[in-house]
A and B are shown apart, each in its own frame.
Chain A
Amino acid sequence: DQQVKQNSPSLSVQEGRISILNCDYTNSMFDYFLWYKKYPAEGPTFLISISSIKDKNEDGRFTVFLNKSAKHLSLHIVPSQPGDSAVYFCAASANSGGGADGLTFGKGTHLIIQP
């Protein structure tokens, strides 16, 4: 039973446009959400996170939106750049990530930025 779902295995976006990656979760105990970016043969790299007490967090070109009632979060990248091409993982944890809680991951979305 997947508690974190990324329903789009891949997404193709033109350079300069906005990329929107979606993630849904089922466990209402999750209160801390993260996005990781992964290149081939490398480990995931932390991008941005959001606590459930917020509905938006922004860091440069990256913004994460959280809709708790819908149990949905999204990552917006604008403008998209060729270097953004990678697999993006959505992850969640309980206890605000401050306890010794591991992360529950989605299966990832492969973002392809086309020139």
Chain B
Amino acid sequence: GAVVSQHPSWVICKSGTSVKIECRSLDFQATTMFWYRQFPKQSLMLMATSNEGSKATYEQGVEKDKFLINHASLTLSTLTVTSAHPEDSSFYICSARGLTGQPQHFGDGTRLSIL
């Protein structure tokens, strides 16, 4: 099946640090990648959608200057949490989709803890 790799799986860092999370589709070309966030006891919430070579589309309430998304190739998207603060601590997970109509395939997620 389709494989999506997300790295790192766990990050602990100090407040004010910027953190970069990578999402790679290993065995297919992902025309669209998605970034989600999950707070405890909540469902996965879509943050942004990125298409290769174009700017990401952010959901309402998600700060684009805070969460920088780059989708430079058909197999790699990155999410950078800039100047992270404790309230940014969450579980971040990416997904990737190939051709139109195919389901999204998810990475294993990144647990981000800001001290």
The interface of chain A, by Cβ under 8 A from chain B, is 2, 4, 34, 36, 41-46, 49, 89, 96-108
Interface pairs (17), CB distance under 8 Å = A2-B43, A34-B103, A42-B108, A43-B4, A43-B6, A43-B109, A46-B1, A46-B105, A89-B43, A97-B101, A100-B49, A102-B46, A103-B34, A103-B44, A103-B104, A104-B46, A105-B36
- B43 & A46 in contact (Cβ 8 Å cutoff): no
Chain B contacts with A in 54-107, Cβ cutoff 8 A? 57, 59, 93, 95, 100-101, 103-107
Q: Select B43's contact among A41, A43, A101, A107, beta carbons within 8 Å.
A: A107
B46 partner residues in chain A, CB cutoff 8 A:
102-104
Residue ID in chain A nearest B57 by CB atoms: A100
Is B101 within 8 A of A102, CB to CB? no
Do A96 and B101 contact each other (CB < 8 Å), given the known contacts A36-B106, A44-B106, A102-B46?
Answer: yes
**With A43-B4, A43-B6, A43-B109 in contact, do A89 and B44 touch (Cβ < 8 Å)?**
yes
Given A4-B43, A89-B44, A105-B43, A98-B101 contact (CB < 8 Å): yes
Chain B residues with CB under 8 Å of A96's CB are 101
Nearest chain B CB to A44's CB is how many angstroms away? Answer: 5
* Bound: A4/B34 CA distance, A: 18
Select from chain B the residue with minimum beta-carbon distance to A107. B43
